[in-house]
Amino acid sequence: MATQELRPQEAEVVVPDAELDLTKFTPTTYISYYKEDSKAFAEAMRDWLSLRFGASRVLFEIEVPPFVESFEYYIRDKIIKADVVLALIGPDWTQLITDYAERNLRDKVRSELRVSLQEDIVIAPICVLGASPPREIDLPNDLKSMLRYNFTILDEDSSIEEEIEAIVASIRAALSQRTKIITPRDFEPLFRNFQDAYQVNDITTALHYLREIEALGELPRRYRPFKLQIDRYRRDLNRRIQVRDARPRYFIIKRVATKNRREAWEMLQLFLTEYPEFGDPDNLATKLRPMQGRAQQLAAIVEDATAPLMQRIEAAHELAEIGDSRPGVGLRSDSLPDIKWIKIPAGEFIQHFDRRLDLPTFYISRYPITYMQYQAFIDDGGYERDEYWAGLARHERNPQPQEFPIANHPRDRISWFECMAFCRW
């Protein structure tokens, strides 16, 4: 191949929707080759491309030190600096791929190309010195996706200028397969600004930078860890927005519930559909859920203080069998007791006959702790957990059997010590 004097030229790189040319964006090019296959041609190409793009834009010959523990990690660290990898395929290239694999040797070229494919770095395959493109059957599985690129075949009879133009055209064609070239200068400042806003819970600013990142387009594989983080951040931002917007609406439902339970129930159903991430932290659903038919009739009898005692007891037993959903009787959605609290205002009271005391506001449960509620304490290991019994004079080890094992019946046959452990739970 004759040597001619070359003058640096500017080559336009056409990227759809980006309108980039080499006066504005000069791609960093890495030359991948086997020394046994195309060393002289690769060195000549390095000189040509240095004249065209500038020497700093041409990466050549990764020398892997013998002490490097991770061969592929070292190559990855070097090659991700490139925008495009020129894969020189000479007449012995296919056989060398096979030989290195059969002899179980470190194959630098194969690693370079595999990393490029994994990191979504553009590959421009160029067949030189009369070589033909490899067939799919000639390639190992990890390099088969190279075939999605167009292979440039250099004519041995062409001039150096023609060969250079063919190579530049190959780079142009390879880069044009991307809708946009995203560089660290584009992405990293936006990501840092997004993280800063996210950490101080500035949702508006965080969303702004998130939209700016998304406007860059599809991120290359080299940013895959960032893509995963962004997806996680996006989900959490959506949750934060829901919590921010939902909290005042949930408070309104609680206020309505004090006046109109049915209306509050209907509002709650719409709320949970619209804000599933917020949930129902105060378990309003259990407290507001309307009773149906017979259950509603039975609950009315149980709550009627003027009804005969035996009638109320029988109604309570039947209600327990079909499901007593009255607030304060059963369990919440998290399996903890649903306590309906009654506010006792602060004030003075007389103890015994003549002792006057002032008490602050306090709350007491509307109903005694039921069999179902205390059973939840037992099932959760309440008798085995020492922290619930610390400092008490006695640590009960086994609960006494319930005399009336009915779900909505008050828990009976328990000691003061068990009551204290239950309250600590």
- Split at pLDDT 50, 70, 90, the class of 12 is very low
- Torsional sign, CA 232, 238, 244, 248: negative
Answer with the residue of higher pLDDT: 415 or 104.
415
> How many CB atoms are located within 10 Å of the residue 311 CB?
12
Can you tell me the mean pLDDT for 336-356? 82
Taking Cα atoms as reference points, which of 182, 150, 165 lies closest to residue 18? 182
Report the alpha-carbon distance of residue 398 to residue 396 in Å, rounded: 6
List the domain boundaries for the chain. Answer: 29-175, 184-284, 291-326, 329-424
Say how many residues make up the chain.
425
pLDDT above 50: residue 3: no
- Split at pLDDT 50, 70, 90, the class of 144 is confident
- The encoded tokens of residue 146 equal 């190279």
Q: pLDDT (tens digit, 9 = 90+) per residue, 188-222?
A: 788 888 888 888 888 888 888 888 887 776 666 66
Query: How many angstroms separate the most distant Cα atoms in the chain?
Result: 121
Report the alpha-carbon distance of residue 304 to residue 330 in Å, rounded: 20
Q: Mean pLDDT in the chain?
A: 80
Least confident of 174-178, 283-287, 335-339: 174-178
What does the pLDDT read at residue 25? 55
Residues 6+ apart with CB under 8 A from 205: 193, 197
- The encoded tokens of residue 377 equal 């304490």
Report the alpha-carbon distance of residue 238 to residue 219 in Å, rounded: 21
- Split at pLDDT 50, 70, 90, the class of 96 is very high
Q: Which phi and psi angles does 350 have, rounded to 5°?
A: -105, 120
Q: Helix, strand or coil for residue 417?
A: helix
> How many CB atoms are located within 10 Å of the residue 88 CB?
25
Q: Which CATH architecture has domain 29-175?
A: 3-Layer(aba) Sandwich (3.40)
The 3-state DSSP composition of the chain as helix, strand, coil percent (nearest 5) reads: 50, 10, 40
Taking Cα atoms as reference points, which of 208, 244, 214 lies closest to residue 231? 214
What does the pLDDT read at residue 24? 46
Report the alpha-carbon distance of residue 172 to residue 16 in Å, rounded: 11
CB 214 within 8 Å of CB 237: no
pLDDT above 50: residue 11: no
